[in-house]
Amino acid sequence: MTQLLTFDGQPLRIEDVAALSRREKHGRLSGDSSFLSRIEAGAAHVARTLAERGVIYGVTTGYGDSVTTPVPPELVPELGHRLFTYHGVGLGPPFGIEETRAILAARLQSLVQGLSGVSVTMLRQLERLLVDDLLPVIPQEGSVGASGDLTPLSYVAAVLCGEREVFVDGQRRLTAEVFEARGITPIQLKPKEGLAIMNGTAVMTGLACLAYERAAGLSRLSAHLTAMASAAMGGNPHHFDERLFEAKPHPGQQRAAGWIRADLDGSERSESRLQDRYSIRCAPHVIGVVEDTLPFLRQLIENELNSANDNPLIDPDTGRIMHGGHFYGGHVALAMDTLKNVIANLADLMDRQIALLVDTRYNHGLAANLTGATGQRAAISHGLKALQISASAWTAEALKLTMPASVFSRSTECHNQDKVSLGTIAARDALRVLELTEQVAAAHVITTRQAVFLKARSGAKVPAPVLKLAEQMEIEPLIEDRVLEPDLRRLLGRMRALGSL
């Protein structure tokens, strides 16, 4: 049964956003009277300040470098509409369905903190998009990550007002037509609401939540695959000894070694060699970096998710209008630049293990390219030769994308936005690195499954947990060469749906 996720200003976790993005949870705005009163208090203070001819950035002034341009009172109601209109310059493919839901959830979570000066009416309209799954078509490119995700979030603001396009049941349609058919009234943004929607870090933060969850699944999977590779090649299980890892007690590294050790339960020490190659022997040290980094990244992402990150902020308790720079996405930029680094290292680890498994110089008695063909037919069988090449290509592309985006700050908008985070580019890069690494992992699944099959077929002892893992992968052993793309795509679908295998 689908669970309810209430937006009431209380903290959300990364897993909440990820579940909502898959429609495993449905988001609803709280109906609690004290919560709603707090929201309305902020909007009322904006209205009161306007009535008293007070000055609020982006409400009575132009935007950005145009802050010195006063806006005549009679034109203030138009200003929010102008903001999302001139930011309609996004390019590139639109974000995916799950990514867009995560973006909407991140924006709503920030606004319900009660410091953005928006109305309950506007929040209800944003909630409606999530409830009815009317998803703004948001181009991926065009944000520098400060002053927030202005250009992509302009597409959310426009849809609230009945403009631009939405995805409905996977189809791209005009928002105005969909609203009319469903009896939804476009809203007229009140002063400060356009800025509140757009001037924040929701795009990078929503993407970061999805990236984090996928990374956690890959870390555990790579440990399982390492155990299978070690067992198939008759590796030395003492490389993962508990006492050994007490001597270098990084918690994540110890955890990774424990996972591998559990899968190798029953393995016997190799009599032919003391030490395996680094991609096997040092796998806990590579996976451990991911495991020890993830808690730190969670803190950064969830702090951003549960923050008020637009500008200015309106304190409903004191009435203070606080001008600052909370739209700056530096923490998410660091998280995503770091994540793509540690995940690309997983791709490299798995790629090296695949290369060992298919090579008769290093796989300790397994068939060349792990072909399952025997006798005369082995001469025309090439097994996993091409799969290893493709895995290497995916790994190279993942490694290439590890250049940190956050160090490429640009001075923009008449040098008002002269230091920017590029957090959204970092998040998009991280998702691409994850996609490529998942492809390498799918190739590794096929490779290790085949290696374990050949090992068992030879009559050699294989640890029971490894045999169980091989069965759970639901991949038919490769006897005669076959097209492996369907297997790869099926594995990727399972991996992304379940977070692992």
Distance from the first to the final alpha carbon of the chain:
23
Residue whose tokens read 């959300």: 12
Q: Residues 383, 367: contact at Cβ < 8 Å?
A: yes
Measured distance CA(10)–CA(194) in Å, rounded: 23
**Catalytic position from the list 57, 63, 86, 278:** 57
Q: Residues 146, 421: contact at Cβ < 8 Å?
A: yes
Measured distance CA(233)–CA(276) in Å, rounded: 10
- φ/ψ of 87, rounded to 5, equals -90, 10
Measured distance CA(28)–CA(39) in Å, rounded: 15
Spatial neighbors of 485 by CB under 8 A, at least 6 apart, are none
Measured distance CA(253)–CA(416) in Å, rounded: 44
Q: Identify the DSSP state of 2.
A: P
86 in catalytic set: no
Dihedral angle over CA of 470, 474, 480, 481, nearest 10: -100
DSSP string over 431-443:
HHHHHHHHHHHHH
Residue spans of beta strands (DSSP E) within 30-84: none
Largest CA distance in the chain: 92
* Catalytic residue positions, numbered: 57
